[in-house]
Amino acid sequence: MAIPVIDFSKLDGPERAETMAAIAAGFEDVGFFQLVNTGIPEELLERVKKVCTDRYKLREQDFQESNPVVKALAELVEKEGEGLTPRKIKNMDWEDVFTLQDDLPWPSNPPAFKETMMEYRKELKKLAEKLLGVMEELLGLEEGHIKKAFSGDFEPFYGTKVSHYPPCPRPDLVDGLRAHTDAGGLILLFQDDRFGGLQVQLPDGRWVDVQPLENAIVINTGDQIEVTIILQYYYTNAVEWDGGLVELTIALDYCPAVLSNGRYKSAWHRILASRDGNRRSIASFYNPARLANIAPATPAAGEDAADYPSFVFGDYMEVYIKQKFQAKEPRFAAMATTTTN
Protein backbone atom coordinates (compact mmCIF):
# COMPACT_ATOMS: atom_id res chain seq x y z
CA MET A 1 0.00 0.00 0.00
CA ALA A 2 1.35 3.42 -0.98
CA ILE A 3 0.79 6.48 1.21
CA PRO A 4 -1.77 8.72 -0.58
CA VAL A 5 -0.48 11.59 -2.72
CA ILE A 6 -2.94 14.48 -3.09
CA ASP A 7 -2.77 17.45 -5.45
CA PHE A 8 -3.61 20.31 -3.07
CA SER A 9 -4.09 22.81 -5.89
CA LYS A 10 -7.32 21.01 -6.86
CA LEU A 11 -8.90 22.08 -3.58
CA ASP A 12 -9.75 25.43 -5.16
CA GLY A 13 -11.06 24.07 -8.47
CA PRO A 14 -13.84 21.92 -9.90
CA GLU A 15 -12.36 18.81 -8.23
CA ARG A 16 -12.75 20.24 -4.73
CA ALA A 17 -15.16 17.56 -3.53
CA GLU A 18 -12.88 14.73 -4.67
CA THR A 19 -9.87 16.45 -3.08
CA MET A 20 -11.71 16.92 0.21
CA ALA A 21 -12.66 13.24 0.18
CA ALA A 22 -9.05 12.23 -0.48
CA ILE A 23 -7.82 14.37 2.43
CA ALA A 24 -10.49 12.91 4.72
CA ALA A 25 -9.41 9.40 3.74
CA GLY A 26 -5.78 10.30 4.40
CA PHE A 27 -6.61 11.52 7.88
CA GLU A 28 -8.93 8.63 8.68
CA ASP A 29 -7.40 5.55 7.06
CA VAL A 30 -3.68 5.95 7.72
CA GLY A 31 -3.04 9.26 9.44
CA PHE A 32 -0.37 10.11 6.83
CA PHE A 33 -0.53 11.51 3.31
CA GLN A 34 1.54 13.64 0.95
CA LEU A 35 0.57 16.95 -0.60
CA VAL A 36 1.93 18.19 -3.92
CA ASN A 37 1.31 21.59 -5.52
CA THR A 38 0.88 23.19 -2.09
CA GLY A 39 1.45 26.74 -3.28
CA ILE A 40 4.85 27.00 -1.62
CA PRO A 41 7.24 28.28 -4.32
CA GLU A 42 9.48 25.57 -5.76
CA GLU A 43 12.39 28.00 -5.73
CA LEU A 44 11.97 28.45 -1.96
CA LEU A 45 11.89 24.70 -1.37
CA GLU A 46 15.12 24.30 -3.31
CA ARG A 47 16.75 26.99 -1.18
CA VAL A 48 15.54 25.24 1.98
CA LYS A 49 17.21 22.02 0.85
CA LYS A 50 20.48 23.82 0.22
CA VAL A 51 20.70 25.81 3.45
CA CYS A 52 19.78 22.79 5.60
CA THR A 53 22.33 20.61 3.84
CA ASP A 54 24.95 23.34 4.22
CA ARG A 55 24.06 23.69 7.90
CA TYR A 56 24.58 19.97 8.49
CA LYS A 57 28.01 20.13 6.89
CA LEU A 58 28.95 22.55 9.67
CA ARG A 59 27.65 20.09 12.28
CA GLU A 60 28.83 16.80 10.76
CA GLN A 61 32.21 16.61 12.47
CA ASP A 62 30.62 17.25 15.86
CA PHE A 63 28.09 14.48 15.23
CA GLN A 64 30.80 11.98 14.34
CA GLU A 65 33.08 12.95 17.23
CA SER A 66 30.69 13.83 20.07
CA ASN A 67 27.26 12.26 19.57
CA PRO A 68 26.77 9.51 22.19
CA VAL A 69 25.07 7.19 19.70
CA VAL A 70 28.20 7.06 17.52
CA LYS A 71 30.28 6.03 20.50
CA ALA A 72 27.68 3.48 21.66
CA LEU A 73 27.54 1.87 18.23
CA ALA A 74 31.33 1.71 17.97
CA GLU A 75 31.48 -0.04 21.34
CA LEU A 76 28.89 -2.61 20.20
CA VAL A 77 30.81 -3.35 17.03
CA GLU A 78 34.03 -3.72 19.03
CA LYS A 79 32.37 -6.23 21.38
CA GLU A 80 31.06 -8.12 18.38
CA GLY A 81 34.61 -8.41 17.15
CA GLU A 82 35.47 -10.01 20.48
CA GLY A 83 32.89 -12.72 19.87
CA LEU A 84 29.96 -11.21 21.82
CA THR A 85 26.49 -10.95 20.30
CA PRO A 86 25.49 -7.27 20.17
CA ARG A 87 22.04 -6.09 21.19
CA LYS A 88 20.28 -3.30 19.33
CA ILE A 89 20.58 0.14 20.90
CA LYS A 90 17.22 0.91 22.50
CA ASN A 91 17.55 4.37 24.05
CA MET A 92 19.25 6.48 21.36
CA ASP A 93 18.68 7.45 17.72
CA TRP A 94 21.07 7.83 14.78
CA GLU A 95 20.03 11.44 14.27
CA ASP A 96 21.56 14.90 14.19
CA VAL A 97 18.88 17.40 15.18
CA PHE A 98 18.25 21.01 16.13
CA THR A 99 15.07 23.04 16.48
CA LEU A 100 13.83 26.43 15.31
CA GLN A 101 11.36 28.71 17.09
CA ASP A 102 10.75 32.39 16.50
CA ASP A 103 11.52 33.30 20.12
CA LEU A 104 14.80 31.35 20.37
CA PRO A 105 18.28 32.06 18.90
CA TRP A 106 18.85 30.88 15.32
CA PRO A 107 22.03 29.64 13.62
CA SER A 108 23.96 32.44 11.95
CA ASN A 109 25.69 30.13 9.45
CA PRO A 110 25.34 29.57 6.62
CA PRO A 111 24.48 33.26 6.06
CA ALA A 112 21.30 32.54 4.06
CA PHE A 113 19.95 30.03 6.59
CA LYS A 114 17.87 32.27 8.85
CA GLU A 115 16.28 34.34 6.07
CA THR A 116 15.42 31.25 4.03
CA MET A 117 14.00 29.26 6.93
CA MET A 118 11.96 32.17 8.26
CA GLU A 119 10.42 32.58 4.80
CA TYR A 120 9.76 28.85 4.60
CA ARG A 121 8.19 28.68 8.05
CA LYS A 122 5.90 31.57 7.16
CA GLU A 123 4.69 29.78 4.01
CA LEU A 124 4.30 26.49 5.83
CA LYS A 125 2.29 28.07 8.63
CA LYS A 126 -0.16 29.38 6.03
CA LEU A 127 -0.46 25.86 4.65
CA ALA A 128 -1.00 24.45 8.15
CA GLU A 129 -3.82 26.87 8.89
CA LYS A 130 -5.45 26.20 5.54
CA LEU A 131 -5.35 22.48 6.33
CA LEU A 132 -6.91 23.12 9.73
CA GLY A 133 -9.73 24.89 7.92
CA VAL A 134 -10.19 21.82 5.72
CA MET A 135 -10.21 19.65 8.82
CA GLU A 136 -12.85 21.84 10.46
CA GLU A 137 -15.04 21.60 7.38
CA LEU A 138 -14.67 17.82 7.25
CA LEU A 139 -15.49 17.47 10.95
CA GLY A 140 -18.44 19.87 10.83
CA LEU A 141 -16.78 22.39 13.14
CA GLU A 142 -17.13 26.13 13.05
CA GLU A 143 -14.46 28.02 11.15
CA GLY A 144 -11.49 28.78 13.40
CA HIS A 145 -12.50 26.25 16.05
CA ILE A 146 -9.23 24.29 16.11
CA LYS A 147 -6.95 27.33 16.19
CA LYS A 148 -9.06 28.74 19.00
CA ALA A 149 -8.87 25.43 20.86
CA PHE A 150 -5.10 25.37 20.39
CA SER A 151 -4.67 28.95 21.58
CA GLY A 152 -6.46 29.71 24.82
CA ASP A 153 -4.96 33.08 25.72
CA PHE A 154 -1.79 32.37 23.71
CA GLU A 155 -0.76 31.70 20.12
CA PRO A 156 -0.51 28.03 19.11
CA PHE A 157 3.00 26.63 19.38
CA TYR A 158 4.81 26.48 16.04
CA GLY A 159 8.25 24.90 15.92
CA THR A 160 10.49 23.25 13.35
CA LYS A 161 12.85 20.31 13.86
CA VAL A 162 15.72 20.02 11.36
CA SER A 163 17.20 16.52 11.29
CA HIS A 164 19.78 14.63 9.32
CA TYR A 165 20.31 10.87 9.38
CA PRO A 166 23.90 10.28 8.24
CA PRO A 167 25.09 7.00 6.72
CA CYS A 168 25.14 4.39 9.47
CA PRO A 169 27.70 1.55 9.37
CA ARG A 170 25.38 -0.86 11.22
CA PRO A 171 21.69 0.01 10.65
CA ASP A 172 20.76 -3.37 12.13
CA LEU A 173 21.92 -2.16 15.55
CA VAL A 174 20.27 1.27 15.83
CA ASP A 175 17.20 3.14 14.56
CA GLY A 176 17.31 6.44 12.75
CA LEU A 177 14.40 7.46 14.97
CA ARG A 178 12.49 5.01 17.15
CA ALA A 179 8.79 4.35 16.55
CA HIS A 180 6.49 6.93 18.14
CA THR A 181 3.38 9.01 17.67
CA ASP A 182 3.55 12.81 17.73
CA ALA A 183 2.20 14.61 20.76
CA GLY A 184 0.57 17.65 19.27
CA GLY A 185 -1.69 18.74 16.46
CA LEU A 186 -0.70 18.96 12.80
CA ILE A 187 2.75 17.96 11.53
CA LEU A 188 4.09 19.08 8.15
CA LEU A 189 7.24 17.31 6.98
CA PHE A 190 9.52 18.30 4.12
CA GLN A 191 11.49 15.10 3.74
CA ASP A 192 14.43 14.12 1.60
CA ASP A 193 13.42 13.40 -2.00
CA ARG A 194 16.35 11.04 -2.68
CA PHE A 195 16.82 8.88 0.40
CA GLY A 196 13.94 7.07 2.07
CA GLY A 197 13.64 5.62 5.55
CA LEU A 198 10.40 7.05 6.92
CA GLN A 199 7.83 4.35 7.60
CA VAL A 200 4.30 4.48 9.00
CA GLN A 201 2.42 1.66 10.67
CA LEU A 202 -0.91 0.76 9.11
CA PRO A 203 -3.93 -0.17 11.24
CA ASP A 204 -3.28 -3.86 10.46
CA GLY A 205 0.22 -3.59 11.96
CA ARG A 206 2.23 -3.56 8.73
CA TRP A 207 4.96 -0.97 8.25
CA VAL A 208 5.04 0.79 4.87
CA ASP A 209 7.41 3.33 3.36
CA VAL A 210 6.50 6.99 2.93
CA GLN A 211 8.01 7.18 -0.51
CA PRO A 212 10.37 10.10 -1.30
CA LEU A 213 8.63 12.55 -3.61
CA GLU A 214 10.23 15.74 -4.85
CA ASN A 215 8.99 18.88 -3.07
CA ALA A 216 6.00 17.16 -1.48
CA ILE A 217 4.89 17.97 2.06
CA VAL A 218 4.05 14.95 4.21
CA ILE A 219 1.11 15.50 6.56
CA ASN A 220 0.28 13.63 9.73
CA THR A 221 -1.76 14.28 12.84
CA GLY A 222 -0.72 14.07 16.48
CA ASP A 223 -2.31 12.78 19.65
CA GLN A 224 -4.34 15.95 20.27
CA ILE A 225 -6.28 15.51 17.03
CA GLU A 226 -7.08 11.88 17.63
CA VAL A 227 -9.95 10.86 19.85
CA THR A 228 -10.71 7.19 20.17
CA ILE A 229 -12.26 5.25 22.99
CA ILE A 230 -9.13 3.16 23.28
CA LEU A 231 -8.71 2.41 26.94
CA GLN A 232 -10.36 2.12 30.28
CA TYR A 233 -9.25 3.93 33.35
CA TYR A 234 -10.31 3.41 36.89
CA TYR A 235 -10.96 5.90 39.60
CA THR A 236 -11.82 5.38 43.23
CA ASN A 237 -14.26 7.59 45.03
CA ALA A 238 -15.75 7.58 48.52
CA VAL A 239 -19.54 7.18 48.46
CA GLU A 240 -22.15 6.89 51.16
CA TRP A 241 -23.46 3.36 51.56
CA ASP A 242 -25.64 1.90 54.32
CA GLY A 243 -24.87 4.65 56.79
CA GLY A 244 -21.12 4.84 56.15
CA LEU A 245 -18.49 5.67 53.55
CA VAL A 246 -17.06 3.02 51.26
CA GLU A 247 -14.65 3.19 48.33
CA LEU A 248 -16.21 2.50 44.97
CA THR A 249 -14.02 1.75 41.96
CA ILE A 250 -15.68 2.52 38.64
CA ALA A 251 -14.37 1.56 35.21
CA LEU A 252 -15.13 4.08 32.50
CA ASP A 253 -14.59 3.99 28.78
CA TYR A 254 -12.41 7.08 28.37
CA CYS A 255 -12.00 9.14 25.27
CA PRO A 256 -8.89 11.36 25.46
CA ALA A 257 -10.36 14.81 25.24
CA VAL A 258 -9.10 15.98 21.92
CA LEU A 259 -10.76 16.97 18.67
CA SER A 260 -11.73 14.49 15.97
CA ASN A 261 -13.74 11.91 17.93
CA GLY A 262 -11.59 9.05 16.71
CA ARG A 263 -11.86 9.72 13.01
CA TYR A 264 -8.32 11.01 12.56
CA LYS A 265 -5.40 8.81 13.50
CA SER A 266 -2.26 9.59 15.44
CA ALA A 267 -0.15 7.05 13.55
CA TRP A 268 2.98 5.30 14.71
CA HIS A 269 5.97 6.09 12.53
CA ARG A 270 9.73 5.58 12.54
CA ILE A 271 12.87 6.26 10.55
CA LEU A 272 15.20 3.45 9.58
CA ALA A 273 18.93 4.00 9.69
CA SER A 274 20.71 3.31 6.41
CA ARG A 275 24.20 2.76 5.10
CA ASP A 276 23.45 4.97 2.10
CA GLY A 277 23.00 8.70 1.79
CA ASN A 278 22.46 11.47 4.32
CA ARG A 279 18.71 11.77 4.77
CA ARG A 280 17.35 15.27 5.41
CA SER A 281 14.10 15.77 7.36
CA ILE A 282 12.44 19.11 8.21
CA ALA A 283 9.37 18.64 10.41
CA SER A 284 7.20 21.55 11.52
CA PHE A 285 4.71 21.20 14.35
CA TYR A 286 1.51 23.24 14.69
CA ASN A 287 0.59 22.39 18.28
CA PRO A 288 -1.58 23.72 21.07
CA ALA A 289 -0.10 26.42 23.26
CA ARG A 290 1.38 24.91 26.40
CA LEU A 291 -1.39 26.38 28.57
CA ALA A 292 -4.19 25.57 26.14
CA ASN A 293 -7.02 23.53 27.62
CA ILE A 294 -7.71 20.60 25.28
CA ALA A 295 -11.32 19.46 25.29
CA PRO A 296 -13.77 17.67 22.99
CA ALA A 297 -14.85 19.62 19.94
CA THR A 298 -18.47 20.79 19.81
CA PRO A 299 -19.92 20.15 16.32
CA ALA A 300 -20.89 23.29 14.47
CA ALA A 301 -24.39 21.90 14.02
CA GLY A 302 -24.94 22.45 17.73
CA GLU A 303 -25.01 18.89 19.00
CA ASP A 304 -23.98 18.54 22.66
CA ALA A 305 -20.34 17.72 23.17
CA ALA A 306 -19.49 14.46 24.86
CA ASP A 307 -18.91 14.89 28.58
CA TYR A 308 -15.23 13.89 28.53
CA PRO A 309 -12.47 15.24 30.79
CA SER A 310 -10.25 18.04 29.52
CA PHE A 311 -6.57 18.67 30.23
CA VAL A 312 -3.85 21.27 29.80
CA PHE A 313 -1.56 20.48 26.89
CA GLY A 314 1.56 21.29 28.90
CA ASP A 315 0.61 18.58 31.39
CA TYR A 316 0.35 16.11 28.55
CA MET A 317 3.77 17.14 27.21
CA GLU A 318 5.39 16.47 30.59
CA VAL A 319 4.16 12.88 30.37
CA TYR A 320 4.93 12.58 26.65
CA ILE A 321 8.58 13.58 27.05
CA LYS A 322 9.09 10.65 29.40
CA GLN A 323 6.99 8.16 27.40
CA LYS A 324 7.40 9.24 23.76
CA PHE A 325 8.59 5.85 22.55
CA GLN A 326 6.08 3.87 24.58
CA ALA A 327 2.41 3.05 24.02
CA LYS A 328 0.24 6.16 23.97
CA GLU A 329 -2.62 4.69 26.04
CA PRO A 330 -0.83 5.22 29.38
CA ARG A 331 -0.28 8.87 28.44
CA PHE A 332 -4.00 9.33 28.02
CA ALA A 333 -4.61 7.41 31.23
CA ALA A 334 -2.32 9.82 33.07
CA MET A 335 -4.43 12.72 31.84
CA ALA A 336 -7.60 10.93 32.98
CA THR A 337 -6.09 10.58 36.44
CA THR A 338 -5.20 14.27 36.44
CA THR A 339 -8.74 15.32 35.57
CA THR A 340 -10.32 13.14 38.25
CA ASN A 341 -8.08 14.29 41.08
3-state secondary structure 39-93: CCCHHHHHHHHHHHHHHHHHHHHHHHHHCHHHHHHHHHHHHHHCCCCCCCCCCCE
Strand pairing report for 186-191 and 311-312: unpaired
Task: Kindly state the percentage of the chain with pLDDT values over 70.
Answer: 82
Residue 284: CB partners within 8 Å, gap ≥ 6?
121, 124, 125, 128, 158, 159, 160, 161, 187, 188, 189, 190
Residue 116's SS3 state is helix
Say whether pLDDT at 304 is over 50. no
Q: What angle do CA 38, 123, 289 make, to 5 degrees?
A: 115
HSE-up of residue 213 (Cα within 13 Å, Cβ side): 19
- Check pLDDT > 80 for residue 333: no
Question: What's the pLDDT score for residue 147?
Answer: 86
pLDDT of residue 300: 34
User: What pLDDT does residue 297 have?
Assistant: 60
Task: Give the pLDDT score at 296.
Answer: 59
Residue 245 has pLDDT above 70, yes or no: no
Q: Compare 247 and 51 and report the one with higher pLDDT.
A: 51
- Alpha-carbon distance 191 to 236, whole Å? 47
The predicted pLDDT at position 260 comes to 56
The mean pLDDT value for 168-176 works out to: 97
Cβ–Cβ under 8 Å, residues 257 and 296: yes
Rounded Cα distance between 180 and 324, Å, is 6
Tell me the per-residue pLDDT of 33-77, one tens digit each, with 9 for 90 and over. 999 999 999 999 999 999 999 999 999 999 999 999 999 999 999
Q: How confident is the model at residue 330 (pLDDT cuts 50, 70, 90)?
A: confident
Question: Is residue 335 predicted with pLDDT exceeding 80?
Answer: no
Q: Would you say residue 305 has pLDDT above 50?
A: no
Q: What is the pLDDT of residue 246?
A: 38
Nearest to 205 by CA among 179, 187, 185, 182: 179
Q: What confidence score (pLDDT) does residue 302 get?
A: 42
Q: Determine the Cα–Cα distance for residues 221 and 219; give it in Å rounded to an integer.
A: 7
Q: Residue 238 — pLDDT band, cuts 50, 70, 90?
A: very low
- For residue 213, name the pLDDT band (cuts at 50, 70, 90): very high
Residue 115 · residue 184 · CB < 8 Å: no
pLDDT in tens, 251-298: 323 333 345 555 687 899 999 999 988 999 999 999 988 888 776 564
What average pLDDT does the segment 22-33 reach? 93
| Cα angle: 9, vertex 10, 11; to 5 degrees | 90
Q: What is the pLDDT of residue 262?
A: 59
At 337, the pLDDT band (50, 70, 90 cuts) reads low
Q: Assess contact for 201 and 207: CB atoms under 8 A.
A: yes
Q: Backbone phi, then psi, for 5, in 5-degree steps?
A: -115, 125
List domains and CATH numbers for the chain.
5-227+262-294 (2.60.120.330)
Strand partners, 269: 180, 200
pLDDT at 150: 87
Q: What b/e string do you get for 10-33 counting C-beta neighbours within 10 Å, with b at 16 or more? A: bbeeeeeeebbebbbebbeebbbb
Higher pLDDT, 328 or 3: 3
> For 134-158, what is the mean pLDDT?
88
Q: Which of 211, 197, 215 minimizes the C-alpha distance to 93?
A: 197
Q: In the structure, what pLDDT confidence band is assigned to residue 311 with cuts at 50, 70 and 90?
A: confident
